[in-house]
Structure 1
Amino acid sequence: MATPGPPSGTPALPFVGALPVRLQQLRIRGLRCLTDVDAVLGPAINVFVGANGAGKTSVLEAAFLLSHARSFRSGAKEALLQRGATQLSIFAELCHADRRVCRLGLGRAGAGWEAKLDGSGVPLGQLVSECAVVCFEPGSHALIAGAAEERRRYLDWGVFHVEHAFLSCWRRYQRALKQRNSLLRSLSPPGDELFAPWEAELAQAADQIDRQRRAYLDRLRPRLQGSIAGLLPELGAFALRYRRGWSDELDLARQLREQRGRDLARGHTTLGAHRADWSITFEQAPLREHLSRGQEKLTALACLLAQAELYAEHRGEWPIVCLDDLASELDQAHQLAVVTLLRAADAQVLLTGTELPAALQGLPACVFHVEQGRLARLL
């Protein structure tokens, strides 16, 4: 059923009962073109200006890596490493809303990441749970128009930060999925006695993940209503639809058993939580193809802002918001709407552009000039 939005075309006021997380210091070594960057950031709006290719986006990418352990850019992980460098490292000093300060470290010298919290090695999941960053960038429209994987990542990042049991359940699911896929690729297909335990484990974990995802989307819906009404009022009411990745009519374990022959032919598991997807449709754009590229971007931005607001309500502190190349992605009216909303929330914002965006003219901001991978504070 479609969820109606407010009639006003101005952004709804964000949840302001939470204080923001602040990145106080960010130090980057060997990330793309950034050889040695050390920045003391301001508590509110931080703008990184410079020519294309200067390294502005890589500064935002460093913050995003601390929160997601992956880049928002496409391409191989090896591309993160500066040419000629043997390792990369990111260090940040983070101040939480309760004034607790922690030191985050993320390094990569080989195939995997090494995470540190306050100087001690920790699991990667513990590091990313400490730092929340949402990012709107030129590829964000893929959240709406791209593959289902992008939407699952968005959904699962949100669930991870509100459901403590999600990570362990997701790991259980991934382990069972890997084992079943390995059996499917065996030269001599194993019997039911080998498949059954992993299919039972897969189904049990999938049911739990499905419940957590549904609960998260139910909580996200009213926040999404406000952000969509503010950014895309011309599209009317919206509907948020979720598909869990297997039939609602039958137990997953039974479906996996019945589907085993087809999966053997394909060499992988075709049903389960790893096949989930969600979508947004509008009263005035019932098909995704009815949206312009600009409307796709604004819908993606509405989703990110709604996720940030829900995080703030649940955790009591606003995440850090990154806006890459804002002036080229949004017209001036929408730039101003987003900046007004984030200022009202008192969120810390990291923003890039070839010059200071018009929406920020006259507003207090820390401005950094980026040139050939180096940073200099201007204002």
Structure 2
Amino acid sequence: MLFVGGRRMKLEQLRMRGLRCLTDVGIALDTGINVFVGANGAGKTSVLEAVFLLSHARSFRSGAKEALLQRGTPQLSIFAELRHVDERVCRLGLGREGARWEAKVDGANAAIGQLVRECAVVCFEPGSHALIAGAAEERRRYLDWGVFHVEHDFLTSWRRYQRALKQRNSLLRSASAATEALFAPWEAELAQSAHQIDRQRRAYLDLLRPKLLASIAGLLPELGQLELRYRRGWSEELDLADQLREQRGRDLARGHTTLGAHRADWSIAFEQAPLREHLSRGQEKLTALACMLAQAELYAEHHGEWPIVCLDDLASELDQAHQAAVVAQLTAANAQILLTGTELPQALQTLPSRVFHVEQGELTRLL
């Protein structure tokens, strides 16, 4: 796999307060490899989770959002200093009190989208196989994060779509008062923004495909040729506005909109494993890893700097040969890496790295 090397964004300082078991922890990170070692439940993954939150405004872990907050603590906050490839330093902040997230960039209040655009983080972790084997929502999130960082007006289209979807669903649930005159403008808005989102998603997948082919070839050559399939969420034959009008009766019975960009999905099929059900759990993980690496490389090509790469519990997720291959690819790309494990992985033992011991939410630098 070919990588755009030598240029990366890097987190220099990270501070976490009230996040799970991290009461108040501040660390200085190395520009290259950072390893967090300790027993299970010590708080290692929460460090990576903090970094991921800055880039996605959500956790990669499943479960209730309330679980992010340390027990008995009303709020959490994450602060970071991020240096871009042009040496510009950004001070980032993300806080949560109650149900609302608040973001800051360079000390000023900012929209969540501004924060997410500033800081790019990709992550491979024990739940990553859900990208391949799980529900479509996980694949849409992956796709839309990539589109967001390539298409600057994607967020505007996505918000327009979500607003129109919410209004149409509200009309569907109050069917007694809903008329054609009420439905028509929201369906037109829904269709217009959906077609824009669809064009942007297709364009992104066209850019991603060659990177994914190369990444997969390096990790799963035994599965043969790859096919990337995309379904936009409504029939290719008709305009969405026409389909929404035809589907309205059935949607009224269900109480929600069953066609549109929120129903899109994509999948990967291999020559030697045409259905995802034919993949082993290990193959699902490696396919998800290939997707993460391909997306990171595309980001680097588009922005001129590598995103930050988080690898949670790498040693238990991959065998030693694949660990070594991934670490070699990422060090060749010169990406900043944050990695967790119960001990220092063998693939890193000959490489310079900054090692932190994590115990009961406390971090101590070892190397």
TM interval, short-chain normalised:
over 0.9
1:3 aligns with none
Cα distance in 2, alignment partners of residues 189 and 298 from structure 1: 51
- TM-score w.r.t. structure 1 length? 0.96
Q: How many corresponding residue pairs?
A: 367
Shift of 1:187: 5.1
1:359 aligns with 2:347: yes
Aligned residue identity for 2:40: N
Shifted more, 211-220 versus 73-82: the winner is 73-82
1:299-323 Cα distance to aligned partner (Å, 9 max, x none): 0000000000000000010000000
For residues 240-265 of structure 1, the C-alpha deviation after alignment (integer angstroms, 9 at most, x for no partner) is 00000000000000000000000000
1:216 aligned counterpart, secondary structure: helix
1:169 aligns with 2:154: no
Q: 2:64 aligns with which of 76, 87, 99?
A: 76
Pairing of 1:187-266 with structure 2 (within 5 A): 188-266=176-254
* Contact 2:10-2:336 at 8 Å conserved across structures: yes
> 1: distance between equivalents of 2:51 and 2:348?
22
Report deviation, 1:39.
Answer: 0.5
Give the AA of the match of 2:187: E
Q: Does 1:30 align with 2:33?
A: no
Q: Is the 8 A contact 1:15 1:313 kept in 2?
A: yes
CA RMSD of aligned residues (A): 0.6
Segments of structure 1 that go 5 or more residues without pairing to the other structure are: 1-11
Indicate how the Cα distance of structure 1 residues 187 and 254 shifts in structure 2: closer, same or farther if over 3 A, else same: closer
Partner amino acid, structure 2, of 1:86: P
The alpha carbon displacement at 1:13 in A equals 2.9
* SS class of match (1:217): helix
Q: Residues of 1 paired with 2:88 and 2:233: CA distance? A: 40
Specify the code of the residue in structure 2 equivalent to 1:214: R
Runs of at least 4 residues of structure 1 off by over 4 A?
none
Task: Find the residue that maps to 1:94 and give its secondary structure.
Answer: strand
Q: What SS does the corresponding residue of 1:20 show, helix, strand or coil?
A: coil
Q: Which residue of 1 aligns with 2:4?
A: 15
Tell me the amino acid that sits aligned with residue 134 of structure 2. Answer: G
1:327/1:357 contact within 8 Å kept: yes
Letter in 1 for 2:335: A
Question: 2:331: which partner in 1?
Answer: 343
1:13/1:344 contact within 8 Å kept: no
* Matching of residue 160 in structure 1 with residue 137 in structure 2: no
Task: Work out which of the residue numbers 4, 25, 32 in structure 2 matches 1:44.
Answer: 32
Amino acid of the structure 1 residue aligned with 2:143:
L
Identity of paired residues, percent? 82
Instruction: Provide the rounded CA distance (Å) in 2 between the counterparts of 1:108 and 1:192.
Output: 41
- Partner SS for 1:218: helix
**Contact residue 175 and residue 252 of structure 2 kept, 8 A:** no
**TM-score, length-scaled by structure 2:** 0.99
Counterpart position of 2:110 = 122
Structure 2 runs not aligned, ≥5 long: none
